[in-house]
Amino acid sequence: MRRVITFIAALTLAVSGAAIAVPASADERSELVDQQEEQELEIERLQSELEGIDIDLQDAYLQLEDTRGKIPAAEAEVLNAENELAGAIREAEANAALLAAAQGELDGIKNEIVEYEENADLTRKSLGEYARATYRGDTMPSDLELLMGSSTAEDFANAYRAQSAVSRSQTASLTEFEQQAAQSKNRESRQSAVEEDIEALKQASDDLVIVQEEKKSLADQKRDDLYQLEAEFAAQSETLESKKDDYLDSVGNLEVARDQTAQRIADIDEENRRKEAERIAAEKAAADKAAREQAAQNNRPAPAPAPTSAPQVSGSWIQPPVPAPVYVTSPFGMRQYPFGGMWMHNGVDLRSRCGEAQTAAADGVIAAVVPAAGNGTHGNQVFINHGIVGGRSYVTVTNHLQAFNVRSGQSVTKGQVIGWTGETGRVTACHVHFEVWQDGTVIDPMTFGSFVRRWS
C-alpha cells in the first residue's frame, strides 16, 4: 500500500508541473497510441496468466491494471488541455497588446490632425491676407519702384533682398498649405484604417474570451478525470489488498486441480503401456510361432526373435487446436502471479475468439469429457488419448471450452472439431488453453514443428 501512495504522490507532482511543459509532439502522441496498444496486449496476457485464480480477484486485479493503463493517457490529456489554455491566454494577451497599440496610434493620429488643422488655419489666414493685399494693391513695390525709390545702390539691394524674402515666405506658405492638405487627407485615411483594425481586434478579444473559457473548462474537466482515476486506483489497490485470502484459497484449488489432471494422465498412460505391452507381446508371440513353424518345415532350429523398435515420427504429427500461425498470449512454463509466488503453467494459451472451432491435435480416442460444473479451474475440459507414438504415451488436454462436440470413448481424427472456444472455469476471457503430456510429463506444445507462432 505504501508503494501505491508513493506512486500517487509522484503522479500528483508530475501533474502539478504539467502546465509549464511543452505541448506533446506528433511523435509523443504516436508513442501514447503505442503504449495503449501495449496495454491492451498486457491485459490480454494477464487475462491468460490469471487463470485458475478466483474470478472476483481476477476482476479486481484487471480493473486495477486497466486504471493504471489509463493514467498516462489522462496525464497527457491534462498536459495538452493546460497547454492549449496557456496558448489561448497568450493569444488573448497578444491581442490585447495589439489593441492597446492600435488605440495609442489612433490617439496619436487624432492629436496630429488637431495640430495640423491649427497650423493650416494660420497658413490659410496668412494666405488670405496676402490675397486681400494683392487685391488692394498693397503688395510689395515693383523692381522699378524700388529702383526709383532708392537713393543708393545699397538701398536698392537691401530693399530687393527684403522683397525676395517676403515673396519666398509667401510661396513656402502656399506650398506648406498644399502639403498639409495632402497630409490631412492621408491621416484621415490612416484613422479610418486603424479604427477598422480596432473594431476587428475588439471582436477578436470577445471571441478569445469565449475560447479561453472553453479551454479552461476542458482543462478543469481533464484534471478532474485524472483525479478520479487516481481515486479509483487507490480504492482498487485497497480492494486487491483485502483479497489476499482469496488468492491463497485459489492457489490451494490450483494444486488440487493439478493433482487431479496428473492422476488422470497417469491412469491413461498406464492403460496405454498395458495395451502396448500386450500388443508387443502378441506380435512377438505371433512372430515366434511363425518362426517355429517355418523352422519345423525347414527342419532347422528357430531363429532368435528380432528386437522391436519404436517407430520414428515427425515433429509435426501434432497440430494446433486452432489454425496456425498461432498467437501466444501466455507461454508454457513457470509463471509468477502478480499476487506473489511461482506457478507452473502446464500448457500454452493461444488467442482465439469466442465460439471458434477447436480441433483434435492428432488421431486418438476421447479419454474424458469433463463438464465445467465441479471443475472450476479448468471449465469444460477434453482429454484425448493419442496412445503410444514413437514409443511414448501422449495425451492432449484442452480447457475452457464453450461447448463439447465429442463424447467419452469416441475415436477422433486429426482436425476433427471437438468443441468451441469459451471462457468456462476460472478465466475472464475467451482463449485456448492447450496441454501436451508425454509419458506423464507436460511438454511445451510450441516445440512441435506445426505450432508456427505469429507475433502480432
Q: Who wins on pLDDT, 42 or 332?
A: 332
- Is a pLDDT exceeding 90 seen at residue 408? yes
> pLDDT, tens digit, for every residue of 152-189?
666 656 655 655 655 566 566 656 656 666 666 676 77
For 134, the grid coordinates are: 494683392
CA 271 – CA 116 distance, rounded (Å): 120
Q: Which residues contact 136 (CB under 8 A, 6 or more apart)?
A: none
In the prediction, which pLDDT does 165 show? 59
409 phi, psi to nearest 5 deg: 85, -10
Which of 372-376, 382-386, 428-432 has the highest mean predicted lDDT (pLDDT)? 382-386
Give the pLDDT mean for 116-128: 64
Q: Supply the mean pLDDT for the chain.
A: 76
pLDDT in tens, 210-244: 888 888 888 888 888 878 878 877 777 777 666 66
Determine the pLDDT at residue 20: 35
Q: How many CB atoms lie within 10 A of CB 90?
A: 10
Which residue, 369, 346, 364, is CA-closest to 437?
Answer: 346
Q: Specify whether the CB–CB gap between 353 and 309 falls below 8 A.
A: no
Q: In the predicted model, is pLDDT for residue 59 greater than 90?
A: no
pLDDT at 74 over 60: yes
What is the model's pLDDT at position 65?
75
Centre a 10 Å sphere on the Cβ of residue 56 and count the other Cβ atoms it contains. Answer: 11
User: What pTM was computed for the model?
Assistant: 0.54
Q: Quote the pLDDT of residue 280.
A: 87
Q: State residue 412's pLDDT score.
A: 98
